Copies of this chain bind each other. A is one copy, B any other.
Amino acid sequence: MSDRGFVVTPWEVKGEVDYDKLMEEFGVQPIDDKLEEKLKRYTCGQLHPQIGRKVFFSHRDLDWILDRYEDGEKFFLYTGRGPSGHTHIGHIIPWIFTRDLQRYFDAEVYFQLTDDEKFLVKPDLSLEDTIGYAYDNALDVIACGFEKGKTWLFLDTEYMKTLYGIAVRIAKHITFSTVKAIFGFTSSTNIGMVFFPAIQAAPCFLPSILKGRNIPCLIPAAIDQDPYWRGVARAVAPRLGFYKPAQIHCKFLPGLGRGGKMSASQPETAIFTTDRLEVAEAKIMNAYTGGQPTVKEQRAKGGNPDICPIYQYYLFLFEEDDGRLKERYLDCRSGSLLCGDCKETLAKRVSSFLKEHQKRRIKAKNVLEDFILRD
């Protein structure tokens, strides 16, 4: 994929992603006007900002699952997280969207924490590490405001008795050459990773098995996870007698480094939910922007919000009002808005978001057990 200037796999996102190219390559549909209108019926007559702003921008079978819903057949939501470190704001974006879908559609949420995957794929992480991060990340999920009694988080290693029975049924139909083609596995891939796609596909069918009837599944997740659903879950669903899971895909929140870089080895390129407020603010104040090198040039030529991570933060989460977002865009373009001011406003908003999130995160510890599924 390197010849096109970006890489998107379930384990790596690099370069400036061309989402149109990705949609074509993955064979997924854009969320078009007609589908937006259909969605509006369930989302209080207004488009969810993440849909309106094309943060969630493409899908598979979303129209189908809405038709089923219309016919009285409720769906569940399935998403997850690979717990290889602390949660950052980029992770939270689709969780907030999923929480809102839960409210709109009164849907159960199944949330997979792939402690096994991150242990298997990261040479330096022990299973104790990834289990620790899973519980740490779970607090962030709960802090997003998912509904107790309708939201089920599970660590793969703690729920494996249940998951494995489904995973082997999937695995029986998936050969090594299939996962080689989909995920780029090689002979040097460890056998845990080779099997793992069956485990990530298993929750697509979990509620149907738990409840003894076929229940449609909608997966809100970043588009890099698409190969799991396309090549594994959707491929085997008919053979196992289940619906193919529907999907709705989001973009990646760019990091605060040059060219949207966000890297675990450079913690200054991401805002973690566990960052102290002044640390988070400093990261924003030090971020790369789409602005000019000097105030004078900015005033004269204007900045470029399209390549600016600061602007993307506003667009993804930190400016609810579409009018004000547009204003900010135009003010940047015209040169009337300076980067320093723009950053300062964002820093305050992020700081206040974090403050509230961190409070909810502490409270989440008291209810954690109500959300966790274990064998």
List chain A positions with a Cβ less than 8 A from chain B: 116, 119-120, 127, 156-161, 164-165, 167-169, 171-180, 185-195, 197-198, 375
| Residue contact B187 to A120, C-beta cutoff 8 Å | no
Q: What's the Cα separation between A159 and B162 when bound, in Å?
A: 10
28 A-B interface contacts by CB (under 8 A): A116-B164, A116-B168, A119-B168, A120-B168, A120-B171, A127-B165, A127-B168, A127-B169, A157-B161, A157-B164, A157-B165, A158-B161, A160-B160, A160-B161, A160-B165, A164-B164, A173-B190, A174-B190, A175-B189, A176-B185, A176-B187, A177-B188, A178-B191, A191-B198, A192-B195, A192-B198, A195-B195, A375-B375
Q: What's the Cα separation between A161 and B159 when bound, in Å?
A: 7
- CB neighbours (8 Å) of A192 from chain B are 167-168, 171-172, 195, 198
Smallest CB gap from A185: residue in B: B176
Q: What's the Cα separation between A171 and B186 when bound, in Å?
A: 15
- CB neighbours (8 Å) of A167 from chain B are 192
User: Apart from A168-B192, A176-B189, what 19 extra A-B contacts exist at CB < 8 Å?
Assistant: A116-B164, A116-B168, A120-B171, A157-B161, A157-B164, A159-B161, A160-B160, A161-B161, A172-B190, A174-B190, A175-B188, A175-B191, A176-B190, A176-B191, A178-B191, A191-B197, A191-B198, A192-B195, A195-B195
Shortest A367–chain B CB gap in Å is 23
Smallest CB gap from A188: residue in B: B175
Q: What's the Cα separation between A192 and B156 when bound, in Å?
A: 16
Shortest A115–chain B CB gap in Å is 9
How many identical subunits does the complex contain? 2
| Residue contact A190 to B161, C-beta cutoff 8 Å | no
Q: What's the Cα separation between A156 and B165 when bound, in Å?
A: 10
| Residue contact B176 to A188, C-beta cutoff 8 Å | yes
Shortest A78–chain B CB gap in Å is 20
Q: What's the Cα separation between A375 and B375 when bound, in Å?
A: 7
Q: What's the Cα separation between A83 and B191 when bound, in Å?
A: 23
- CB neighbours (8 Å) of A189 from chain B are 175-176
Shortest A316–chain B CB gap in Å is 34
Q: What's the Cα separation between A195 and B175 when bound, in Å?
A: 12
- CB neighbours (8 Å) of A178 from chain B are 191
Q: What's the Cα separation between A253 and B157 when bound, in Å?
A: 39
| Residue contact A179 to B165, C-beta cutoff 8 Å | no
Q: What's the Cα separation between A175 and B192 when bound, in Å?
A: 9
- CB neighbours (8 Å) of A198 from chain B are 191-192
Nearest 3 CB-CB pairings of A with B: A171-B192, A195-B195, A177-B187
Shortest A203–chain B CB gap in Å is 16
- CB neighbours (8 Å) of A171 from chain B are 120, 190-193, 195
Q: What's the Cα separation between A264 and B190 when bound, in Å?
A: 34
Q: What's the Cα separation between A192 and B173 when bound, in Å?
A: 9
Shortest A15–chain B CB gap in Å is 28
Shortest A233–chain B CB gap in Å is 14
Smallest CB gap from A180: residue in B: B187
- CB neighbours (8 Å) of A180 from chain B are 187
Q: What's the Cα separation between A195 and B119 when bound, in Å?
A: 15
Smallest CB gap from A186: residue in B: B176
Smallest CB gap from A175: residue in B: B188
